[in-house]
Amino acid sequence: MKQDTQILYELSRRLKSPYDELFINSAEFGKLLGVSQQSSSRYLTRLESRGLIERKVTGRGQSIRLTERGVEALRKMHTELENFFRTHAEIQVRGRVVKGLGEGAYYIGKYSERLKDALGFEPYQGTLNLDVKGKFSPERAKTIRIEGFKEGNRCFGDITCIPASISHGKSKVDCWIIIPERSHHRDELELIGKFNFRKKLGLRDGDVVEVSFS
Amino acid sequence: MKQDTQILYELSRRLKSPYDELFINSAEFGKLLGVSQQSSSRYLTRLESRGLIERKVTGRGQSIRLTERGVEALRKMHTELENFFRTHAEIQVRGRVVKGLGEGAYYIGKYSERLKDALGFEPYQGTLNLDVKGKFSPERAKTIRIEGFKEGNRCFGDITCIPASISHGKSKVDCWIIIPERSHHRDELELIGKFNFRKKLGLRDGDVVEVSFS
DNA sequence: ATTACTAGTTCCCGAGTAT
DNA sequence: TATACTCGGGAACTAGTAA
């Protein structure tokens, strides 16, 4: 296992810039790495012999700076992490499939016609519930509003729908996040779509899926 | 030495996003790390037990994804590298002190009055030469132009000056980069200032210094 | 196929210490 | 004071192999 980069990284944390230098003794540098003075010294001589750092060793410590090659090694790591974390236009939330209360199917049935009008298709009569541990915040999302209605003496409130997609493994299908007017489950996300997602994506309780929306 | 992060990093290089998953067998993952199938397997079970990754192990390989905690470990590293590499408003060039040709002092003497007019002080009669291996490119720098003149039948060309600062260790002093009209030494930087920099900063040939300018 | 345990080997760590 | 070498003990590696 390459550990050179790990040491270069710990060094970089103590430098203000790639051209800065650190004056330190091998015992103190060892503490930064969680190793002994001897190992620290060994690491530093090794990094120097590999052309990743330059040192001026004195009787009172040593000044350490990265060489061009050392900086390049860190820059490569930085670039790859930058790419990994680059925020996509899409907002992504990861959630875990959980059992719904069975209410979903009932309500989708009641709203069926209105959903068909708004979304352009008649949704599968059931919801997929995801545990997202409060990580969902739809502030900036595009939404579609479905107005509430009364049936007899029962009230059915407004619903907000967010077009999204759900992906699991290599599969990705369109879906809609639905948010009842008075949402009580802040930690759960309710999804509807053309299909039974559990069958379509082969989902079981506890599976982790990713929901993307704009 | 902590190597967990190094392994997480190698994993992240194979993922499209923090929520992506990688299907791979332990032998192949070992190759990515440069270790055996057995070590690779040991690493993965350890990372899992530490809550840094989640796995679904099957008879044909395993799908691996980062946990929230694993993502956080990488994000911390990314943030610190971001800080380390953050481009300052200042442009920084690192150079190595080299012997000049002795011409510097002669020319500074000739331009002395004009430099005093332009820069506001009479410079030390000598230059500090830095080997910058072609890394210096003053495209966007603020410059001060000093016009050339004739003395008898000798021509002294225009000079471009860039206000800058030179730092070495903890010391940092103002200086000017001077660029003769027909600069022949693309790999060298010539600096002037109020002082003898070699004395002021305790410089010797081969020392690395940093020059900053805007 | 895999994963991952056991066992034997390598090599790394750090205490002691020379310089 | 430092750095960094030697060397004994142990951690970590991998070959073999069970599941």
| 3-class DSSP state of A145 | strand
Q: What is the structure's pLDDT at A17?
A: 79
Question: pLDDT band for position B150 (50/70/90)?
Answer: confident
How many angstroms separate the CA of B54 from the C1' of C15?
Answer: 40
Q: Which amino acid is residue A204, in one-letter code?
A: R
Cα B100–Cα B102–Cα B104 angle in degrees, nearest 5: 80
Closest C-alpha to A21, from B166, B85, B209: B209
Task: Using the predicted structure, report yes or no on whether residue B4 has a pLDDT greater than 80.
Answer: yes
**What is the C-alpha separation between B108 and B125, in angstroms, rounded?**
6
pTM of the model: 0.55
How many angstroms separate the CA of A42 from the C1' of C11?
Answer: 14
Residues whose CB falls within 8 Å of the CB of residue A178, separated by 6 or more in sequence, listed in order = A127, A159, A160, A161, A190, A191, A192
Q: What is the structure's pLDDT at B140?
A: 58
Task: Using the predicted structure, report yes or no on whether residue A48 has a pLDDT greater than 70.
Answer: yes
DSSP category for residue A52:
S
Whether domain A2-88 has CATH 3.40.50.1220: no
Taking the domains of chain A in order of start, what are their residue ranges?
2-88, 91-213
- Residue B115 CB neighbours (<10 A): 21
Phi and psi at residue A128, to the nearest 5°:
-105, 120
Q: What is the structure's pLDDT at B87?
A: 57
Q: Which amino acid is residue B29, in one-letter code?
A: F
Task: Using the predicted structure, report yes or no on whether residue A88 has a pLDDT greater than 90.
Answer: no
Q: What is the structure's pLDDT at B141?
A: 64
b/e B63-99 (16+ beta carbons within 10 angstroms → b): ebbbbeebbebbeebbeebeebbeeeeebbbbbebbe
Q: Which residue has the higher pLDDT, B142 or B200?
A: B200
Q: Which amino acid is residue B27, in one-letter code?
A: A
How many angstroms separate the CA of A36 from the C1' of C13?
Answer: 8
Closest Cβ opposite residue B81 in set A33, A35, A81: A81
Q: Which residue has the higher pLDDT, A41 or B212?
A: A41
Closest Cβ opposite residue B81 in set A12, A17, A21: A12
Q: Which residue has the higher pLDDT, A141 or A205?
A: A205
Which residue is closest, via its CA, to the C1' of D19?
B59
Q: Does A48 touch chain B (CB under 8 A)?
A: no
How many angstroms separate the CA of B141 from the C1' of C2?
Answer: 61
Domains B2-88 and B91-213 share a fold: no
The mean pLDDT of A128-148, rounded to a whole number, is 78
Closest-CA residue of chain A to B6: A6
Q: Which nucleotide is nearest to B25 (CA to C1')?
A: C2
| Mean per-residue pLDDT over chain B, rounded | 87
**Residue A146 CB lies within 7 Å of the nucleic strand D:** no
**What is the C-alpha separation between B180 and B156, in angstroms, rounded?**
9
Which CATH entry fits the domain spanning B91-213: 3.90.1300.10, 3.30.70.1880, 3.40.20.10, 2.40.30.30?
2.40.30.30
Q: Find out whether A81 and B81 touch, Cβ atoms under 8 Å.
A: yes
How many angstroms separate the CA of A14 from the C1' of C1?
Answer: 48
**What is the C-alpha separation between B20 and A129, in angstroms, rounded?**
20
Please state the three-class secondary structure of A170-200 as a single string: CEEEEEEEEEECCCCCCCEEEEECCCCHHHH
Q: Does A14 touch chain B (CB under 8 A)?
A: no
Q: Which of B110-124, B131-145, B184-198 has the lowest mean pLDDT?
A: B131-145
B-chain CB neighbours of A2 within 8 Å are: 6, 34
Q: Whose structure tokens read 């010539």?
A: B190
Closest-CA residue of chain B to A84: B17
Please state the three-class secondary structure of chain B as a single string: CCCHHHHHHHHHCCCCCCCCCEEECHHHHHHHHCCCHHHHHHHHHHHHHCCCEEEEEECCEEEEEECHHHHHHHHHHHHHHHHHHCCCCCEEEEEEEECCCCHHHHHHHHHHHHHHHHHCCCCCCCCEEEECCCCCCCCCCCCEEECCEEECCEEECCEEEEEEEEEECCEEEEEEEEEECCCCCCCEEEEECCCCHHHHCCCCCCCEEEEEEC
Q: Which residue has the higher pLDDT, B206 or A146?
A: B206
* Percent of chain B whose pLDDT exceeds 70: 94
Q: Which nucleotide is nearest to B60 (CA to C1')?
A: C2
Question: pLDDT band for position A139 (50/70/90)?
Answer: low
Counted across chains A and B, CB pairs separated by less than 8 A come out at: 87
The mean pLDDT of A93-111, rounded to a whole number, is 88
Question: Looking at strand C, which nucleotides approach a protein CB closer than 7 A?
Answer: 1-6, 12-16
**What is the C-alpha separation between A208 and A204, in angstroms, rounded?**
9
Q: Does A3 touch chain B (CB under 8 A)?
A: yes
Q: What is the structure's pLDDT at A185?
A: 62
Question: pLDDT band for position B185 (50/70/90)?
Answer: low
The mean pLDDT of A152-179, rounded to a whole number, is 87
Cα of A170 to nearest chain B Cα, Å:
9
Q: Does A34 touch chain B (CB under 8 A)?
A: yes
Q: Does A92 touch chain B (CB under 8 A)?
A: yes
Cα B91–Cα B95–Cα B96 angle in degrees, nearest 5: 165
Task: Using the predicted structure, report yes or no on whether residue B134 has a pLDDT greater than 90.
Answer: no
| Strand residues in A59-148 grouped as ranges (E) | 61-66, 91-98, 128-131, 144-146
Q: Whose structure tokens read 């060309």?
A: B157
